[in-house]
Amino acid sequence: MHNCLAIDVAKGKSMVTLVSSSGEVLINPYEANHSINDFTNLLNRINQFKLDNISVIMESTGIYHRPIERFFLENHFKVFVINPIYGKIRKRNLRKTKTDKEDCFNLVNLFLTNTFKEYFKPDQLYLDLNALSRQYFALDELCVNLKNRYKNLVYLCFPEYEELFKGSTIYSSIALDFIEKYPHADIISNTRIDKLQNFFKKQGFRHWKSKPIKIKEIASNSYPSVDMNDQIVSNLSQISRLVNEYQKAIDIIKDKIVFLSKKSKYFKTINSIYGIGEFTTAIIIAELGDINRFNNVKELTAYCGLDPSIKQSGKSINVHGPISKAGNKYMRKILYIAVSNIIRLTSISTQENDIEIYYRKKRNEGKHHYASIVACTTKLLRKILALCKQLDNQ
């Protein structure tokens, strides 16, 4: 039987205690900082007892447990990082007491009774992919906010830009570079036409002669909300540069994610599903990791937060409410996009697709569009899991 080192993790510090397999408290709970000195002192105290089979148990706390996990893994301890839900269920009692010392002993009880699911650390490939995926989503969210700000400033400084660069082309590299340099209609009016043409020519723009003439003509008749010396004009120039930089950084990360994900044995299998491209496949692998760790589709849907909430009390009828949203929000987002693409591509093609057929079935049952899409995401998850399990069994 293993001895247990229980660690109640907090930001920058933790409460630790060592309990033998017989239940004897060898190290009374005390607070240790997340520093090399405190970690080394703790290790020396543990080594004094000359024990074999010491296991470390702690709750997952996002990022705060990572230094402790790294230290004990590097020192060849068996580390258990458990879901905080297990600890929360264990701590339920009539008295509303909660202390760090008590939390340590609750973790010990969890370990000794083995009432938790063991956590296996993913391969480094999946850890790297997940880190890139989270960086992508963080930058993408910031970029969306910058784009909203950018469109507002464009309207104030030269609203006709939205006609000159229609749709998504206003976020193209050429448009952003041009607006950064010429953020106001009056600045364009005061600039020679040959200088504007030279800018587009250097960018390799196809219509480098005619486009500047049209821009200058429209600028001469424009009446923006602010004059060219206003601070808002400088803000637009700065925002244009930032959007351009963020988009380039996002493109680099996307290429890295796709490149790394192709090393996973599941890449070709998931990518073979109609309507799922290389980047979508890469993000799915990055967020799910080793798909083989899920025993069934219920575990997978719960991980994604797509499992329905159920309300039932006494003789009341079971009600399947909305999805729990208690899981991976990034997976829900990418699955929603994937299903939408599958339905869109199938609707404009002649071939049938099981996801699209299932969507039409739900719509015919009277389900809302969004509810039907969510239902299709769980079907897509079942399909992904089945294909990957089939691959593992070959």
If one compares 120 and 301, the residue with the highest pLDDT of the two is 301
Work out the average pLDDT over 328-340.
Answer: 95
Domain that holds residue 163: 127-260
Rg (CA), the chain: 28
DSSP state of 215: H
pLDDT at 91 over 60: no
Are 165 and 240 within one domain? yes
The predicted pLDDT at position 22 comes to 85
Are 239 and 341 within one domain? no
Are 149 and 256 within one domain? yes
pLDDT at 49 over 80: yes
Share of the chain above pLDDT 70, in %: 92
Are 147 and 230 within one domain? yes
Whether 24 maps to a domain, the answer reads yes
Are 94 and 193 within one domain? no
Whether 25 maps to a domain, the answer reads yes
Work out the average pLDDT over 328-337.
Answer: 95
The predicted pLDDT at position 308 comes to 80
Are 74 and 158 within one domain? no
Q: Give the contacts of 168 (CB within 8 A, at least 6 positions apart).
A: none
Q: Which residue has tokens 């109609």?
A: 274
pLDDT at 115 over 90: no
Whether 74 maps to a domain, the answer reads yes
Band of pLDDT at residue 94, cut at 50, 70 and 90: very low
The predicted pLDDT at position 315 comes to 60
pLDDT at 318 over 60: no
Whether 120 maps to a domain, the answer reads no
Name the average pLDDT for the chain.
90
Q: Name the domain boundary from 86, 113, 140.
A: 113
Whether 122 maps to a domain, the answer reads no
Interval 140-159: pLDDT, tens: 999 999 999 999 999 999 99
Share of the chain above pLDDT 90, in %: 70
Interval 209-219: pLDDT, tens: 999 999 999 99
pLDDT at 309 over 60: yes
Whether 118 maps to a domain, the answer reads no
Least confident of 90-99, 293-302, 318-327: 90-99
Are 218 and 323 within one domain? no
Q: What pTM, to 2 d.p., does this model score?
A: 0.84
Q: Name the domain boundary from 260, 284, 314.
A: 260
Per the structure, the count of domains in the chain is 3
Are 88 and 68 within one domain? yes
The predicted pLDDT at position 190 comes to 94
Least confident of 74-88, 140-154, 249-263: 74-88
C-alpha–C-alpha distance, residues 131 and 142, integer Å: 17
Are 108 and 170 within one domain? no
Q: Name the domain boundary from 84, 113, 142.
A: 113
Whether 99 maps to a domain, the answer reads yes
Whether 121 maps to a domain, the answer reads no
State the CATH number of the domain containing residue 105.
3.30.420.40
Are 297 and 388 within one domain? yes
Are 103 and 160 within one domain? no
State the CATH number of the domain containing residue 150.
1.10.287.4070
If one compares 330 and 106, the residue with the highest pLDDT of the two is 330
pLDDT at 75 over 60: yes
Are 256 and 284 within one domain? no
Contacts made by residues 75-83, CB under 8 angstroms, sequence distance 24+: 75/43, 77/5, 78/2, 78/54, 79/55, 79/121, 80/55, 80/56, 80/111, 80/116, 80/118, 80/119, 81/119, 81/121, 82/57, 82/58, 82/110, 82/116, 82/117, 82/119, 83/59, 83/116, 83/117, 83/119
Band of pLDDT at residue 95, cut at 50, 70 and 90: low
The predicted pLDDT at position 60 comes to 84
pLDDT at 323 over 80: yes
The predicted pLDDT at position 28 comes to 93
